[in-house]
């Protein structure tokens, strides 16, 4: 295949990705955008790079938001991402101190002396706290990479923990048989997805908020009887009963303050935090609905109050609210030609 054929093939692939953009934007600026990308590639390139693909898709999403008068969406998500990182940092501190580092009592659970943590989920919490520190010192792509690594570790924590606990190690195993529960992993993962939108240039005060919030639970947790064995199913209900309302309050306080200043970012802060807040509140809602105390498992749960059912329902409802908020934002009239630059232009 000669150089001209390679370039034509690349041009067709770039144009296929332009369908991520609004139709009027494609008609007005499609040729300019494709030409910009083609001018930046070498003669030996025959495929789109992952970076260009992501750049085009993200640029298309931004243009759709701008076309629907949702220009405050990007800024609102960035603010919500900082709140998500701070909330997840507080929870990571709780999980590490109150669960992962608790000692063995009377040989329960049966693990060997080489155990450092109760479960592989500890590595996810360590990566999360590292992201909070990096965000304070050098915010940017490395912070988001640590958040992504934490998400991957959350996904593999349960299967790896189950396998490791079942291995026939002479001293009893590497981890506790009480692996991290989806009660903990799912809400924290929702915070992680939101935290991926962290701003690269936060204010001097903003960048230290997650580290400060991560330190807040240290004293209350250390006041617990940490000489006994704790598990996630014992700690999570109380932790979420405290953290979920605070997260929701902080999000709404920030949203209200921005809206009072007629800043449309406030609308999106309140909306995009709903899915994570709903999942954080699923466990307290179940206990409240059953009228039970903060015991690990409320007795005789009906099917519609099972944790998986409640979490799925809350996720669908809150994502529906987010989609509705985007859908009802009216498209604005296109401005004059040349009034803005392509979102993906570099």
Q: Could you give the 3-state DSSP secondary structure of residue 268?
A: helix
The gap between the terminal CA atoms of the chain, to the nearest Å, is 28
Query: Could you list the pLDDT tens digit for every one of the 346 residues in the chain?
Result: 566 676 777 777 778 877 778 777 778 887 887 777 777 766 666 677 777 787 777 777 767 666 655 557 778 888 999 999 999 999 999 998 888 877 654 444 444 444 567 778 889 999 999 999 999 998 888 999 999 999 999 988 888 777 766 665 544 455 565 567 777 888 898 899 899 989 888 888 999 999 999 999 998 887 776 556 567 877 888 888 889 899 989 999 998 998 888 887 887 888 888 888 888 887 777 766 665 655 555 555 554 455 656 666 666 666 666 565 555 454 444 444 444 444 443 3
Q: What is the pLDDT of residue 16?
A: 80
Q: What are the tokens at 346?
A: 């570099």
At 345 the pLDDT is 39
Backbone angles phi, psi at 108, to 5 degrees: -115, 130
pLDDT at 129: 96
Q: Are 77 and 264 in contact (CB under 8 A)?
A: no
- In the DSSP assignment, the letter for residue 43 is T
DSSP state of 325: H
Q: What is the pLDDT of residue 250?
A: 92
Task: Give every CB contact of residue 212 below 8 A, 6+ residues apart in sequence.
Answer: 86
Token reading at 213: 């919030």
Cβ 55 vs Cβ 17: under 8 Å: no
């Amino acid at each position: 295949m000669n150089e001209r054929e390679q370039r034509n093939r690349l041009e067709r692939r770039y144009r296929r990705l332009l369908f991520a953009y609004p139709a009027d934007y494609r008609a007005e600026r499609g040729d300019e955008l494709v030409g910009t990308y083609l001018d930046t590639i070498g003669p030996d390139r025959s495929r789109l790079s992952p970076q260009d693909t992501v750049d085009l898709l993200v640029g298309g999403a931004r243009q759709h938001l701008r076309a629907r008068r949702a220009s405050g969406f990007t800024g609102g998500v960035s603010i919500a991402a900082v709140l998500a990182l701070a909330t997840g940092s507080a929870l990571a501190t709780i999980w590490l101190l109150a669960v992962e580092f608790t000692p063995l009592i009377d040989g329960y659970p049966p693990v060997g002396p080489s155990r450092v943590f109760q479960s592989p989920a500890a590595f996810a919490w360590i990566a999360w706290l590292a992201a909070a520190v990096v965000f304070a010192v050098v915010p940017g792509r490395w912070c988001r990479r640590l958040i992504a690594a934490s998400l991957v570790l959350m996904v593999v924590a349960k299967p790896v923990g189950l396998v490791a606990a079942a291995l026939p190690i002479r001293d009893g195993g590497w981890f506790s048989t009480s692996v991290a529960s989806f009660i903990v992993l799912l809400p924290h993962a929702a915070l992680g997805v939101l935290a991926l939108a962290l701003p690269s240039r936060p204010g001097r005060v903003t960048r230290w908020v997650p580290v400060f919030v991560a330190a807040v639970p240290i004293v209350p947790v250390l006041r617990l009887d940490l000489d006994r064995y704790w598990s996630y199913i014992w700690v999570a209900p109380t932790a979420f009963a405290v953290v979920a309302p605070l997260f929701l309050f902080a999000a709404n306080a920030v949203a209200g303050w921005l809206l009072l200043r007629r800043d449309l970012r406030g609308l999106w802060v309140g909306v995009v935090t709903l899915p994570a807040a709903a999942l954080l509140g699923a466990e307290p809602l179940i206990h409240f609905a059953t009228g039970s105390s903060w015991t690990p498992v409320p007795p005789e749960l009906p099917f519609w109050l099972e944790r998986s059912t409640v979490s799925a329902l809350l996720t669908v409802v809150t994502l529906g609210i987010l989609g509705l908020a985007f859908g009802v934002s009216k498209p604005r009239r296109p401005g004059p030609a040349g009034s803005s630059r392509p979102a993906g232009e570099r």
